[in-house]
Amino acid sequence: MTSADGLFVSAPAKVNLCLHVAERRADGYHNLESLVAFAVHGDEITLEHARELSLSAVGPFGAMLPPDNDNLVLKAARLLADKVDRPPSVRITLRKNLPVASGLGGGSADAAAVLRGLASLWRLEIDRETLMGIAALLGADVPVCLDCIAAWTEGRGERITSLSPLPEMPLILVNPAVPVSTAEVFSALDARSGLRFVRPRAPFCDPHALVAFLHSTTNDLEAPARKIAPSIGDALEDIRDMPEILIARMSGSGATCFGIFETDESARSATALLRERHQEWWIVNTAIVPERIGAPTALQ
Ligand code: C5P
């Protein structure tokens, strides 16, 4: 816990390295299983003591956030404050580096980062289960973003099994500048793998072991998302053309695609080449991080 006036919290991008869809449930949602990893790149949040709750969004995608009432970051602050019976007084600044509605769980990562950060800023004696419960109320993807460590998720994404750290791997993220609606992608889904129960039981000893595992899996939402936004197919073909690519796939319900590379150098060159070809696309060179990231730090 800290007594700082303000804190910085990172909200790493969540990448679904695979995603299998099973049956539609009575509540309208589908059961899923997914290998979730976190990237170094993400949104950045500062939390400062203030008289009232406020949110300002800055950064490349700051203008695209939903209005106050639908904003997960504000909901997270209000829910946590209610739970511990205190006013939700905090000034939140969100640097939105991740594209919105892009399959990277940006909104969920932001909400989870706010919960982590406020527990520390407000010096709350709150146990992990309570925080997880609040996260689950905010959305199925929020609990896994609380810890920011690789996990196998089931159900709607809320049943989490933490995995041994993944090998550190060069990763690029490519979004062909189209926001995609998750609901539309699920509606366009006509082929599902169903649950394969392939949860990894042993640590992946190196990147090749992880990639071999991924080749035995799919993202079932890739085909329907490509029907809705054909530029996803262009992005995947372009990434697959790059030298030393180990695997390219879409994350979540899209449209962001990822590529895992053999070396940092090949990921850097691919990023430069793709940026030259597609100046309007969002393309970043990052990495899958093996260890936990996102712990709050005092503002300087
Ligand atoms: O998670 P979110 O509420 O954004 O999902 C939007 C829509 O996508 C849901 O209303 C549902 O139609 C569909 N969906 C689903 N199964 C999931 C997640 C989302 O059918 N596991």
Please write the tens of the pLDDT for every residue from 138-183.
999 999 999 999 999 999 999 999 999 999 899 999 999 998 999 9
Structural domain includes residue 36: yes
pTM for the model: 0.95
Rounded mean pLDDT, 206-212: 95
**What does the pLDDT read at residue 197?**
87
Q: Is the CB of 268 under 6 A from ligand 1?
A: no
Same domain, 150 and 11: yes
Percent of residues, the chain, with pLDDT higher than 90: 87
> Are 223 and 99 within one domain?
no
Check whether 2 has a pLDDT greater than 50.
no
pLDDT at 4: 66
In whole angstroms, how large is the CA radius of gyration of the chain?
Answer: 19
Q: Ligand 1 mean position to 186 CA, how many Å?
A: 7
Task: Mark whether 73 and 19 lie in a shared domain.
Answer: yes
Tell me what pLDDT residue 55 has: 95
75 labelled catalytic: no
Which atom from ligand 1 is nearest to the alpha carbon of 24? 20
Given this model, what pLDDT does residue 69 score? 66
8 A C-beta contact, residue 75 and residue 96: no
Average pLDDT value for the chain: 94
Residue after which a domain boundary falls, among 99, 133, 163: 163
Question: What is the distance in A from the centroid of ligand 1 to the CA of 192?
Answer: 15
> Does the pLDDT at position 92 exceed 90?
yes
- Indicate whether 38 and 149 sit together in one domain: yes
Looking at the structure of the chain, the number of domains it has is: 2
Q: Residue 83: CB within 6 Å of ligand 1?
A: no
Kindly state whether residues 151 and 51 are assigned to the same domain. yes
- β-bridge mates for residue 160, sequence order: 153
CATH number at residue 122: 3.30.230.10
| Confidence check: pLDDT of 22 > 80 | yes
pLDDT at 287 exceeding the cut of 60: yes
Tens digit of each residue's pLDDT (9 = 90 or more) over 34-57: 999 999 999 999 999 999 999 999
pLDDT tens track for 217-247: 999 999 999 999 999 999 999 999 999 999 9
Instruction: Determine which residue's CA is closest to atom 2 belonging to ligand 1.
Output: 182
What is the CA(158)–ligand 1 centre distance, in A? 13
Of 138, 163, 188, the residue at which a domain comes to its end is 163
How far is CA 263 from each of CA 13, 35, 116, 168, 259, rounded to the nearest angstrom?
21, 22, 33, 11, 12
163 CA distance to ligand 1 centroid (A)? 25
For residue 1, the model assigns a pLDDT of 43
Domain region containing 281? 169-288
Residues 40 and 106 in one domain: yes
- 96 given a catalytic annotation: no
- Residue 108's pLDDT band (cuts 50, 70, 90): very high
Cα–Cα distance, 162 to 169 (Å, whole number): 18
Same domain, 37 and 20: yes
Quick one: 92 and 201 in the same domain? no
Q: Which atom of ligand 1 is nearest to the CA of 140?
A: 1
Pairing of strands 90-95, 54-58: parallel
Same domain, 42 and 180: no
Q: Over the chain, what HEC string results? A: CCCCCEEEEEEEEEEEEEEEEEEECCCCCEEEEEEEEEEEEEEEEEEEECCCCEEEEECCCHHHCCCHHHCHHHHHHHHHHHHCCCCCCEEEEEECCCCCCCCCCHHHHHHHHHHHHHHHHCCCCCCHHHHHHHHHHHCCCHHHHHHCCCEEEEECCCEEEECCCCCCEEEEEEECCCCCCHHHHHHCCCCCCCCCCCCCCCCCCCHHHHHHHHHCCCECCHHHHHHHCCHHHHHHHHHHCCCCEEEEEECCCCCCEEEEECCHHHHHHHHHHHHHHCCCCEEEEEEECCCCCCCCEECC
Q: How far apart are CA 250 and CA 16, in angstroms?
A: 8
pLDDT at position 3 is: 47
Q: Are residues 109 and 173 in the same domain?
A: no
On whether residue 298 sits in a domain, the answer given is no
- Considering the candidates 110, 141, 147, 220, report the single residue annotated as catalytic: 141
- Residue 187: the pLDDT is 95
Residue 199 belongs to domain with CATH number: 3.30.70.890
Closest to 223 (Cα-Cα) out of 191, 251, 252, 256: 191
Percent of the chain scoring above 70 in pLDDT: 97
- Residue 63 covered by a domain: yes
Residue 87 maps to a domain:
yes
Is the sign of the CA dihedral 113, 116, 118, 121 positive or negative?
A: negative
pLDDT for res 64: 85
Same domain, 159 and 175: no
Do 184 and 274 sit in the same domain of this protein? yes
User: Strand ranges (DSSP E) for 83-175?
Assistant: 90-95, 151-155, 159-162, 169-175
Confirm whether 145 is domain-assigned: yes
Query: Quick check: is 119 in a domain?
Result: yes
The answer, yes or no, to whether any atom of ligand 1 lies below 6 A from the CB of 182, is yes
Instruction: Give the number of other CB atoms < 10 A from CB of residue 123.
Output: 11
Residue 148 falls within a domain, yes or no? yes
Per-residue model confidence (pLDDT) at position 66: 73
1 within a domain of the structure (yes/no): no
Residue at a domain's end among 145, 163, 181: 163
